[in-house]
Each structure stands twice: as C-alpha cells, then as structure tokens.
Amino acid sequence: MRTILVINSKGGSGKTTLTTNLASYYASKKVKTAIMDYDPQGSSLQWLRMRPGHVEKIHGANAVPPKTAPMRSVQTWVPSETEVLIIDAPAGAKGLLLQELVRKSQYIVIPVAPSPIDIHATADFIKELFLFGGARNSKAKIAVVANRVRSASLIYGSLERFLTALKLPFLTSISDSENYLHAAEKGLGVFEMDEATTVAERRELMPILKWLDGHVPNRFGSRVEDKVVSLESSRKLAAFRMIEDPTFSSTGRFKNYP
C-alpha cells in the first residue's frame, strides 16, 4: 500500500484540496483508494459524503482521537485491498502525533501558500518535521508544493526562493482556481470533471503524481536535514537561519523580498 501524507502545521494551506484531488485521481484510474482524515473538522470525510454514486468509491477513515480508544481502531480501519492511502493531517500537528504521521508515510507532500505568514510558518514546521518529527531517520520522500498561487502575485518570487533555499523538491504550483472549489462542492476532483474545462488544473497536479510514481523533479537538491541538524560551522548556522527566516541570506544580510 502506498501511503501519502499531506501535511503542514499552518492552517489554510490547502491540505484537504490536495488530498481530495489526489484521491480522486487514483480512484478514477480504478486504483483502490482510501483517505485517513486526522483533521477534527473532517473536511475530507465531508467531501466523501458528497460524492455522487456514479464515480469510483473512496474509503474514508476517521483518525481523530475519540473519547474511547477501542472506537478509534474501528474508525481508522482501512480495507486490506487498499492500494493508495492518503492521510489528511490536522493543522498544528507536532510531538507524538507528528511522529505517528511520519512513521506511517512513504511520501510526504507539504503544501504552502505564497504569503509571508505562511512561508515563515512552513519554515518552522519543516524544522519541527526533521528535528522532532522523525523525518531525519525516516525513509519517506518529502516534497513541497506551492498552493493557492495567483499568477500575478508578487510574493511568489519569495516563495520560490524560500523553497530553493531548503533544497527540497519543489514539484509544482497549484493555482487559486475556482475549478477546485466547484469540484469540492460536488464531492469530485478535477480529474473527474470535464477534461476541457479542467485542463490547466490537471496539468498543475501531474508533477505531483509523476513524483509519486518515482519520477525525479527538475528542481531537486540535497537533504534539508543537513541544514537543520548540524550547526557546528557558521556556514550551516546561516543555512539554519534561512530556514527560520527565508529573508535571511547566507551572508548574514536580509534580502529585500517583495
């Protein structure tokens, strides 16, 4: 079973949109797919309840910790024939929960919105992911996706430079398109809607799907934990500062980001 974790501790990064569209793609290809929703809001499970009967079924598992432990084992049950499991992580995941999510995953996709607040929050989260979440010792492959990007957004340049500084694979930019909203309202993904209408959205998502199938992206760098764990030299300390604050350059000066 291929297990994909969609996570960012910052709320509003578009985790559920990415989760549901990835799940709907695999389901449309007749791949037995399940979603495990850790978010107390249950947005992915609500989306599943809205799915029309003519589309492929996607199993939903509620992983929000209930009041009684035995009930959780029932709610989180996933069919043994499941081929792809996508985990929709909650905002603010840290500590033991973050370690549990990382331990379950083979692929970790981090969506980040192109705003200064989101960029800084994601920098802190990635540091948490490697220092305390177990990603440093995990075999999971990790990549970043720019989400809810407007083509005219001036902040996009700083987002791209931030991702380049982290040396993580930057897979694609997902636009702030109304087609994603229309799909969600119907319990569908863009791959289940009219192809001519959603051609741009399909093209945006394909680099993620190719990466999940083993294709190496064009922008791929060294492992980020080298920058957040070893701080013996001033050069590595500067790299750590860049992760904490994407406006901080390796020369010790602050960049004039838009």
131 versus 3: the higher-pLDDT residue is: 3
**Contact by Cβ (8 Å): 85, 34:** yes
Alpha-carbon dihedral sign for residues 176, 83, 109, 50: positive
Instruction: Report the C-alpha gap between 96 and 12 in whole angstroms.
Output: 22
User: Is the per-residue pLDDT at 239 higher than 60?
Assistant: no
Nearest to 126 by CA among 221, 228, 252: 228
Q: Which residue has the higher pLDDT, 3 or 159?
A: 3
What percentage of the chain reaches a pLDDT higher than 70?
A: 75
pLDDT of residue 243: 47
* Confidence check: pLDDT of 124 > 50: yes
What are the pLDDT digits (tens) for 159-172? 667 767 777 888 88
pLDDT tens across 188-202, in order?
A: 999 999 999 999 999
* Banded model confidence at residue 76, pLDDT cuts 50, 70, 90: confident
Whether residue 94 contacts residue 60, with contact meaning beta carbons closer than 8 Å, is answered with no
Judged against a pLDDT cut of 80, whether residue 88 lies above it is answered with yes
Phi/psi of residue 155, nearest 5 degrees: -75, -15
226: its two tokens: 């080298």
For residues 49 and 57, give the distance between their C-alpha atoms in angstroms, rounded to a whole number.
10
H-helix or E-strand spanning residue 7 = none
pLDDT band of residue 38 (cuts 50, 70, 90) is very high
**Residues 175, 136 contacting (CB under 8 angstroms):** no
- Could you say which DSSP state residue 251 is in? T
Residue 13 has pLDDT above 80, yes or no: yes
Residue with tokens 């331990």: 103
Give the Cβ contact number of residue 143 at 10 Å: 21
The answer, yes or no, to whether residue 67 has pLDDT greater than 70, is no
- Residue 74: per-residue pLDDT: 61
Parallel, antiparallel or unpaired: strands 59-62 and 107-112:
unpaired
Mean pLDDT value of segment 95-124: 90
> What pLDDT was estimated at residue 251?
40
Domain spans of the chain, in order of start:
2-222
Q: For residue 108, is pLDDT > 60? A: yes
What is the CATH T-level fold of the domain 2-222, as seen in this structure?
A: Rossmann fold (3.40.50)
Per-residue confidence (pLDDT) for residue 10, from 0 to 100 = 84
User: What is the C-alpha to C-alpha distance for residues 190 and 179, in angstroms, rounded to an integer?
Assistant: 7
Does residue 99 surpass a pLDDT of 80?
Answer: yes
Q: Would you tell me the crossing angle of helices 199-212 and 15-28 to the nearest 10 degrees?
A: 80
* Higher per-residue pLDDT: 47 or 245: 47
